[in-house]
Amino acid sequence: MSESYKRLHAIGAEFDSAYAIYHAAEKVRDSGYTNWDCHTPFPVHGMDKAMGMRKSWLSAFIFCCGLTGFITGLLLVTVTSYGLYPTIVNGKPNDWSHGMGALQFFFPVMYELTILFSAFGAVFGMIIRNGLPKFNHPLFNWSRFAKVTDDKFFIIIESSDPLFSETKTKAFLDSLGGKHITPVFDHE
Amino acid sequence: MADIAQQNSGDECAVVLHCPPELKKIPLVNHDRSLNWITENVASICEEKTRKYWWIAFLIFCPIALLVPTLLSYQVANGVGVWGENQPFGWAWDITNFVFWIGIGHAGTLISAILFLTRQKWRTSINRAAEAMTLFAVMCAALYPGFHVGRFWKAWYLFPIPNHMAIWQNYRSPLLWDVFAVSTYFTVSVLFWYVGLIPDLATLRDRAKSKIKQWGYGLAALGWRGGNRHWQHYEMAYLILAGLSTPLVLSVHSIVSFDFATSVIPGWHTTIFPPYFVAGAIFGGFAMVLTLMLPARLFYPQLDDMITRNHVDKMAKIILLTGSIVGYAYLMELFVGLVYSGNFYEYNAFLNRATGWYYWHYIAMMTCNVVIPQFFWSKRIRHNYIWVFVICQFVNAGMWYERFVIIGTTLAQDFLPSSWGHYTPSWVEVFTFIGTFGMFTTLFLIFMRFLPMITIFEVKGVIPAADPHHKPDHSHGDKAAQPKEAAVH
């Protein structure tokens, strides 16, 4: 039992520039791989296209959050000011019978809550969608990968990809000009 | 056009000879720095041994900051009467300071959100520090209304929390709008700042040598790996946060101005307030950004290549623009009050503002905010850091005077001369205000020490090497000094 079981997670290749990884990514996309990713120190402009990715749907989620915020704001002000604790200020109407005519003064609260909920949606939506926080990931076992937050660029093709083959994928990454092509295992 | 084509072809010598300087693109990062150079020089600020002058600054400002909890405790123990406010001065230094600090925050959000939406890439090297400044300024601001309620332990009545008396807030009140606006503003600013920090925290995590740092930065970085499938959602979230912060920042100071504008006091009851307040906030905020960034640049000379002369120049231009808008608002206000309104009380309010008891505040405001920033028309002054710093101090002071002029002079002399009254700040108020400066600076010093002052990943994104269509030329790396660059300036 001394030898622990190691499962191949992915094969990674290192690139030196945004130019190199951009053109390599186009070739990976064209060769039909699906479970792969480009890791870069900064978002490379146009990389979504080079990887054949569609627009992020996060915006739709944030819109729903904003709508929730707006409705929460509307209910908060109307339920309390029209129902639970009606206040008459300067003789202004305080019930639904005046319809929208009584709502203008409540608008700032609804507006701020719309923004607040949308912002929470944007941040937590992004974090959850990206599967974060994830403090332990096979990629962190690869010592060179630490340079991804500095000045190196990596293409990682995962073993779960239908086209994945240890030898062929390695050769393919090599043909793209990748350096330090390394198998990444689940456990160090 | 041939010259520009030549520039793209890489024949740089030819460009210097033929391309007129005004057509030459000013680089956002000087000296053609590499990705690694940016990482090293920003991250090293948090990694190196604490410098002596950091400790000196910290030991000066931290005791000043302690004035805030001390004097606020004194105020809570003795009642709000220890401040100098009394009828007719229900609001005085406290609300002046509240508006002053919250206004300073606005420049941070402007840089991070509005300049992002308008694709002003030069913002990348100043946005982190400016956002941090926003947070600390809003913290200082929020103290004032919180403690001005008198019984601080009941400040939670400001929020819609069900209570034993079954009383709910009056949502028609601008003061309650303020509660929602300022708390939303603070929360969204924290979120925006944190989202921007995640990739840089990952950089610090990957460089950390000690276990504590690895854990600390690692936990905060959430396990960021920089995959493009993450960046895609990250960029969308960032874009939308910028889109949300833009109307938010405009609404916050508009709502702060509604505190005054929706009242019936002559001098406050004007429709010009929201745009006038927002312009003033950006004006004062940029002065504070420069007040912080110019010394930071002095202490960390490596930042020179990222916060360039060009950045300082652009910020000075924004100060000039917003200062002129503010100047226009002052004059328009005078015109409406003295000439156009035909209202006796309005007329008196503005006459008293300019010539009444507090006339010297008005003169200080006009001089600091309208006259002195006009020096920024001169390129030589915009390019002289000492001048820029000095002018920014006038702007900082001027914006405080503006808020006092609006609040103080209006309340001192309103409708009936029998209810007029003078105001003198108490020592508690004076030292609390001084304390907020200590608190603001201390927090900023701590931020500088532990977090990257410059957004590393965004600055990397604006250098030529980040362009995926820019074929790297390995023949040149970092150029310590380029004669070409020197020739341009």
Extents of the domains making up chain B = 1-33+463-489, 34-462
B370: pLDDT strictly greater than 50: yes
B488: pLDDT strictly greater than 60: no
Give the per-residue pLDDT at B243. Answer: 92
Is residue B96 a contact partner of residue B404, using CB atoms and an 8 Å limit? Answer: yes
For residue A43, the chain B residues in CB contact (below 8 A) are 228, 231, 234-235, 457, 461
> How many CB contacts within 8 angstroms connect chain A with chain B?
217
Nearest C-alpha in A relative to B193:
A123
In the stretch 420-449 of chain B, residues with CB closer than 8 A to chain A read: none
| Token digits of residue B202 | 């990952």
Among B399, B420, B421, which residue's Cα sits nearest to residue B105?
B399
B231/A43 CB distance under 8 A: yes
Give the per-residue pLDDT at A4. Answer: 57
- The predicted-structure confidence for B70-117, as pLDDT tens digits, reads as follows 999 999 999 888 998 888 888 888 899 999 999 998 888 888 888 888
B177/A108 CB distance under 8 A: yes
Q: What value of ipTM does the predicted structure carry?
A: 0.91
Nearest CB partner across the interface for A41, out of B223, B226, B229: B226
A77/B171 CB distance under 8 A: yes
Q: Is B186 on the interface with A (CB under 8 A)?
A: no
For residues B365-377, average pLDDT: 93
A112/B207 CB distance under 8 A: no
Partners of A154 in the beta sheet?
Answer: A14, A39
The DSSP call for residue B227 is: B
A7: pLDDT strictly greater than 70: yes
For residues B455-477, average pLDDT: 78
Q: Is B121 on the interface with A (CB under 8 A)?
A: no
CA B274 to chain centre: 18
Q: Is B237 on the interface with A (CB under 8 A)?
A: yes
Element (H, E) at A37: strand A36-39
What does the alpha-carbon distance between residue B477 and residue B456 come to, in Å, rounded to a whole number?
18
For residue A87, the chain B residues in CB contact (below 8 A) are 170, 172
In the stretch 377-396 of chain B, residues with CB closer than 8 A to chain A read: none
Q: HSE, CB side, 13 Å, CA atoms: give it for residue A24.
A: 27
Give the per-residue pLDDT at A99. Answer: 65
B316: pLDDT strictly greater than 60: yes
- Termini Cα distance of chain B: 23
> Is the dihedral angle over the CA atoms B433, B435, B436, B441 positive or is it negative?
positive
For residue A123, the chain B residues in CB contact (below 8 A) are 191, 194-195, 237, 241
B168/A80 CB distance under 8 A: yes
- The predicted-structure confidence for B374-411, as pLDDT tens digits, reads as follows 999 999 999 999 999 999 999 999 999 999 999 988 88
A127/B222 CB distance under 8 A: yes
B236/A56 CB distance under 8 A: yes
What does the alpha-carbon distance between residue A176 and residue A30 come to, in Å, rounded to a whole number?
12
Nearest CB partner across the interface for B232, out of A48, A137, A139: A48
Nearest CB partner across the interface for A108, out of B226, B255, B469: B255
As a whole number, the mean pLDDT across chain A is 86
What does the alpha-carbon distance between residue B445 and residue B53 come to, in Å, rounded to a whole number?
11
Which residue is it, tokens 């005077």?
B401
For residues A166-183, average pLDDT: 87
For residue A25, the chain B residues in CB contact (below 8 A) are 228
A102: pLDDT strictly greater than 80: no
Instruction: Kindly report which listed range (B22-31, B111-120, B343-352, B437-446) carries the lowest average pLDDT score.
Output: B22-31
- The predicted-structure confidence for B168-226, as pLDDT tens digits, reads as follows 888 888 889 999 999 999 999 999 999 999 999 999 999 888 899 999 999 999 989 88
Task: For chain A, give every domain's residue range.
Answer: 8-55+136-185, 58-129
- The predicted-structure confidence for A113-166, as pLDDT tens digits, reads as follows 999 999 999 999 999 999 888 888 888 888 888 889 888 899 999 888 888 888
B484: pLDDT strictly greater than 60: no
For residues B230-258, average pLDDT: 91
As a whole number, the mean pLDDT across chain B is 86
For residues A67-95, average pLDDT: 85
B476: pLDDT strictly greater than 70: no
What does the alpha-carbon distance between residue B356 and residue A118 come to, in Å, rounded to a whole number?
47
Most A CBs within 10 Å, among B231, B251, B256, to test the A interface:
B231
B228/A39 CB distance under 8 A: yes
B334: pLDDT strictly greater than 50: yes
Give the per-residue pLDDT at A8. Answer: 86
Determine what percent of chain B falls in helix, strand and coil, rounding each to the nearest 5. Answer: 75, 0, 25
Query: B463 vs chain A: nearest CA distance in angstroms?
Result: 11
Looking at domain B34-462, its CATH architecture is: Up-down Bundle (1.20)
B431: pLDDT strictly greater than 60: yes
For residue A161, the chain B residues in CB contact (below 8 A) are none
Give the per-residue pLDDT at B1. Answer: 39
Element (H, E) at A81: none
A149/B181 CB distance under 8 A: no
For residue B475, the chain A residues in CB contact (below 8 A) are none
Nearest C-alpha in A relative to B455:
A42
Give the per-residue pLDDT at A1. Answer: 40
Give the per-residue pLDDT at A100. Answer: 67
Nearest C-alpha in A relative to B214:
A135
The pLDDT confidence band at residue B483, using thresholds 50, 70 and 90, is very low
- Model confidence, pTM: 0.88
Give the per-residue pLDDT at B5. Answer: 42
> Is the dihedral angle over the CA atoms B399, B189, B94, B296 positive or is it negative?
negative
